[in-house]
Amino acid sequence: MNLVLLALALAISWLPAAAWLWRIIPAGIPARVPLVSGYACLLGLLGTTLIMRVFSLLGVSWSLPGMALVSLVIALLAFVCPASGDGVGDPVPGRVRRQLSRPQQVLVALCLALLASRLIALGLELGTRPITAWDAKQHWARQAKVFFDLKSTAPFVSLEQWLALGGDGVYTNLHPDYPIATPLLQAWIAVALGYWDNSLVNAPWLLMWLGIGLVFFAQARLAGASIIVALAACYMVLSLPYLNIHVALAGYADLLLALSYLGAVAALGNWLQSRASWQMILALASGAGCLLVKNEGFYWLLSLGPGLLLAVAGLRRGLTVLAAAALALLLTLYWLPGDFAIAGHSLASMEFGYRPESWLSIYLSTLVHANWHLLVYLLLIALLLVPMKARAMIPLAAVVIAAICLYLTLYLVTDNAHGAVRFTSLNRVALQLMPAAAFFTLSVFLIASGTAPGEKQ
């Protein structure tokens, strides 16, 4: 019965987003079903948290029937909206659908088998083990239990405020300013089950893993990858050990942010090639979703800016504007008062200053430890290839480089360096970027190899 309720809860999250995406994303494009399914995983989960907030604002307690009804109404409303006619068809003109040869069939079967094995292993681990990891208990799930108990959101304040108010009507934890999408998802599953299940409340993390795979596969197909290449690359992303760990030891917010950022970057990347308006909608929706998940989502959303600027203004003018903007930003940060807060952190608390001791940790985490298999090596090669063999990818490279610069700034120039030296947050923040970086890497190789749209075959 629990599994039925769980499936129902995930379907209630997925369905309204899928219905709207089915109307927005034109028919006839390759991989439409995985594209709709993947983005429905992301936007559906985020949408669920928004509906829960609205319920709380209106003073309505969360319940399975209530959420199901709203979900159904939203899904039905989608069919009132006219379907998108902005079909672009296959992004690789003249690409002929050929039957797969025997070796290709073996490769496809192998990838599917490996993915199935990974899904089963992660599903068993997640579904059997109670919440284990530190922050999952210290912050996210602890907040989720309060939300579930009240069937509503509740105000969380700082320790000092809590004491001043005598704890009356407020709760406290160490990061009351963190976005609440993650605990809302756990609370939602608990509401659907009718009780707090120490394992099953993390079921959305398996959906996030699937969402990453579906979004990656579909957008890779739209970028010009054949089924085999897209599937192989999808397996490579979904097999990243550190990404798997965040499913197995579920309960952190980083995986959802990774899915959001992938959704944004992949859609933006394909919009840069095709200028399809629905891709821009996906990019903006996914990018905005980053803000709901973690404070650093603000920075990842900002990282999309350079790519957009270069795409709109052209390379030369765009780079000039970017340089001027970067200088203006530095001057602004210099002149702003120390108590000015950005994404939940005051400038004074960041304690700006060069911290070279973080370099070793960054090097070990990306190129030596087994967190990312060979991904970072391939990413570095892709970045080198862009100016030589894939100039069309310059705007998307600007997005990735901007994100990398922000990441390096976080660990080399701010007080967060301790998170690098002690290997506590370094990989968790990197996880938020890696699936998107993988998509960028694949896109570069597709163009460099001449299989992407617009290149000579």
Contact positions with another protein (CB under 8 A) in 94-123: 114, 117-118, 121-122
Contact between 35 and 214 under an 8 Å Cβ cutoff? The reply is yes
Closest CA to 238 of 125, 133, 120, 119: 119
Evaluate whether 451 touches 391 at the Cβ level (below 8 Å). Answer: no
For residue 356, the minimal CB distance to another protein (Å) is 20
CB of 207 to another protein, least distance (A): 19
Q: In what helix (H) or strand (E) does residue 82 lie, and over which residues does it extend?
A: none
- Please report whether residue 137 would count as binding another protein according to CB under 8 A: yes
Mention every residue, 6+ apart, whose C-beta is less than 8 A from residue 306. 318, 322, 395, 398, 399, 401, 402
Q: Give CA–CA dist 284/132, Å, rounded.
A: 34
Rounded Cα distance between 199 and 255, Å, is 17
Among positions 411, 416, 428, 437, the unique one binding another protein when judged by CB under 8 A: 428
* Nearer residue to another protein within complex by CB, 304 or 378: 378
Classify strands 341-342 and 171-172 as parallel, antiparallel or unpaired. Answer: unpaired
Q: Is 148 in the site for another protein (CB under 8 A)?
A: yes
- Do the beta carbons of residue 23 and residue 81 sit within 8 Å? yes
- Taking CB under 8 A as the criterion, the residue among 54, 76, 112, 167 binding another protein is 167
Q: Is 363 in the site for another protein (CB under 8 A)?
A: no
Length of the chain measured in residues: 457
Nearest CA to 22 out of 9, 37, 11 is that of 37
Q: Does 53 bind another protein (CB under 8 A)?
A: no
Q: Give the range of 31-39, 54-62, 207-215, 364-372 binding another protein by CB under 8 A.
A: 364-372
**Cβ 163 to another protein shortest distance, Å:** 5
Choice between 230 and 304, CB closer to another protein: 230
**125 lines the binding site for another protein (CB under 8 A):** yes
146 forms part of the interface with another protein (CB under 8 A): yes
448 contributes a contact to another protein by CB under 8 A: yes
* Residues contacting another protein: total by CB under 8 A: 71
| 133 lies in the binding site for another protein (CB under 8 A) | yes
> Are the CB atoms for 166 and 172 separated by under 8 Å?
no
**232 counts as binding another protein under rule CB under 8 A:** yes
Site string for another protein, 169-208 (x = CB under 8 A): --xx-x--------------------xxxxx---------
**124 is an interface residue for another protein by CB under 8 A:** yes
Instruction: Pick the stretch among 62-70, 248-256, 317-325, 396-404 that binds another protein (CB under 8 A).
Output: 248-256
Provide CB contacts within 8 A for 286, sequence distance 6+: 39, 42, 43, 260, 261, 262, 263, 264, 267
> Should residue 368 be labelled a site residue for another protein when binding is judged by CB under 8 A?
yes
Q: What's the closest the beta carbon of residue 339 comes to another protein, in angstroms?
A: 21
Both tokens of residue 195?
């009780």
Q: Minimum CB separation from another protein for residue 317, in Å? A: 33
Cα–Cα distance, 365 to 209 (Å, whole number): 22
Backbone angles phi, psi at 338, to 5 degrees: -65, -25
378 binds another protein (CB under 8 A): yes
Q: Per CB under 8 A, which region of 32-40, 236-244, 255-263, 326-334 contacts another protein?
A: 236-244
Angstrom distance (rounded) from CA 203 to CA 206: 6
Cβ proximity of 286 and 43 under 8 Å: yes
Nearest distance from C-beta of residue 265 to another protein, angstroms:
21
- C-alpha distances (whole Å) from 58 to each of 150, 156, 244, 397 are 14, 19, 38, 44
**Counting contacts by CB under 8 A, is residue 427 touching another protein?**
yes
Which C-beta is closer to another protein: that of 23 or that of 118?
A: 118
For another protein, the binding residue among 207, 249, 301, 434 (CB under 8 A) is 249
Contacts to another protein from residues 271-330, by CB under 8 A: none
